[in-house]
Amino acid sequence: MKLLLIVLVLLFTGCSTPVKRSFPDVPEELKVACPDLIVQQQTTKLSEVISVVVGNYGQYQECQIKVDTWIEWHKQQKQIFESVK
Amino acid sequence: MFLLSFVPDAVLHLVVVGILFTGVGIYALSFFTRFIPPLIPYSGIVRIVGTVLIVCGIYFYGSYSTEMSWRNKVAELEEKVKISEAKSKTANVEIQTVYRDKVKVVKETQVVIQERIKEVEKRIDSQCTIDTEVIKILNDAAARKVK
C-alpha cells in the first residue's frame, strides 16, 4: 500500500506544470477603496451646501476614474495573459 | 520521464549515445569472437547482449528526443511568460500615469469650482436660506446603507 502511494505521488508529480506564472500586480492607488460621501454639517447657508455637493461630485468623479482604470487594467492584463500560449 | 527532468541534457545525451554505441561495439565484437577459440561458446550471448543494447539505445534515443522536445517547449513558454510579465509591468506604469493625470485634473477642477463658490458666496447666501430638513435629506441620500 505504501509503495503504491509512493508510486502514485511520483506519477502525479509528473503532471505538475514546470512553468510558473504569477498574478500581475495592480497599481497601489487602485487598491484603495472609494471614500464615503461627505456629510453636510447643519447650516442655513447655500454656499456651504453647494461646497459639500461639489466635493461629493469630485469624489464620485475620482471613483469613476478608478473604476474605468480597473476595467482598462483588466482588459490589458487579460490580453497580455492570453498572448502566452 | 518526470525524474529525467532532473538529469542535465549533456549527461542524458552521453548515457543514451553510450548505450547505443556500446551495443554496436559489442555486436561487432561478436563477429570476431568466432576467431578466438576460447570465446567461441560466448559468441551467441555476446551478439544477443549487443542486440539488446542497440534496441535499448534506439529506444532511449527516441525517448531522449521526446524529452528534449518537451524541454524546448518549456523553455519557449518560460521565455514567453518572462516577456508577458515585462509587458504587464509596462502596462501597469502606463495605466498608473494615466490614472494620476486624470485624478489631478479632477482635483484641479475642484479647486477652481470651490474658488468660484467663494466668489459668489455672499450673493447666493443672501438670496437663499436652507431649511434644516434639506440638510437631513441630503445627508440621508449620501449615507452608505450597504457596507
Q: Is residue B143 part of a domain?
A: no
pLDDT grade, residue A84 (50/70/90)?
A: confident
Lowest mean per-residue pLDDT among B34-38, B53-57, B123-127: B34-38
Shortest distance between the Cα of B57 and any Cα of chain A, in A, equals 24
d(CA B108, CA A3): 71
Contact A18 B124 (CB under 8 A): no
Contact B125 A45 (CB under 8 A): yes
Q: Is residue B121 part of a domain?
A: yes
d(CA B81, CA B53): 41
- pLDDT, residue A81, reads 92
Q: What are phi and psi of A25, to 5 degrees?
A: -75, 150
Residue A51, pLDDT > 60, answer yes
Q: Return the number of other C-beta atoms located less than 10 Å from residue A80's C-beta.
A: 19
- pLDDT tens readout for residues B63-95: 889 988 988 998 999 999 999 999 999 999 999
Shortest distance between the Cα of A35 and any Cα of chain B, in A, equals 10
What DSSP assignment string belongs to B113-132? Answer: HHHHHHHHHHHHHHH-B--H
pLDDT grade, residue A69 (50/70/90)?
A: very high
d(CA A44, CA A48): 8
Structural domain including B23 reads 3-130
- The end-to-end CA distance of chain A, in Å, is 39
Q: Is residue B142 part of a domain?
A: no
Contact A58 B100 (CB under 8 A): no
Q: Confirm or reject contact between B6 and chain A (CB < 8 A).
A: no
Residue B31, pLDDT > 80, answer yes
Q: Is residue B145 part of a domain?
A: no
Q: Is residue B140 part of a domain?
A: no
Q: What are phi and psi of B129, to 5 degrees?
A: -115, 130
Q: Give me the residue from A11, A56, A62 closest to B103, CB to CB.
A: A62
- pLDDT, residue B3, reads 65
Tell me which chain B residues have a C-beta less than 8 angstroms from the C-beta of A9. none
Residue owning grid cell 472609494: A34
Q: Is residue B144 part of a domain?
A: no
Q: Is residue B44 part of a domain?
A: yes
Contact A54 B87 (CB under 8 A): no
Q: Is residue B88 part of a domain?
A: yes
Lowest mean per-residue pLDDT among A37-46, B1-10, B138-147: B1-10
- The end-to-end CA distance of chain B, in Å, is 53
- pLDDT, residue B2, reads 64
B25-39 burial string, b = 16+ CB within 10 Å, else e?
ebbeebeebeeeeee
Contacts of residue B13, defined as CB under 8 A and 6 or more positions apart, other chains included, come to: B64
Shortest distance between the Cα of B65 and any Cα of chain A, in A, equals 18
Q: Which of B138, B96, B137, B132 is nearest to A57 (CA)?
A: B138
Q: How far is CA B135 from CA A15, B6, B110, B129, B143, in A?
A: 64, 72, 21, 12, 12
pLDDT grade, residue A57 (50/70/90)?
A: very high
pLDDT grade, residue B23 (50/70/90)?
A: very high
- pLDDT, residue B12, reads 86
Task: Confirm if A44 and A72 have CB atoms less than 8 A apart.
Answer: no
Tell me which chain B residues have a C-beta less than 8 angstroms from the C-beta of A85. 80
If one counts the domains in chain B, the total is 1
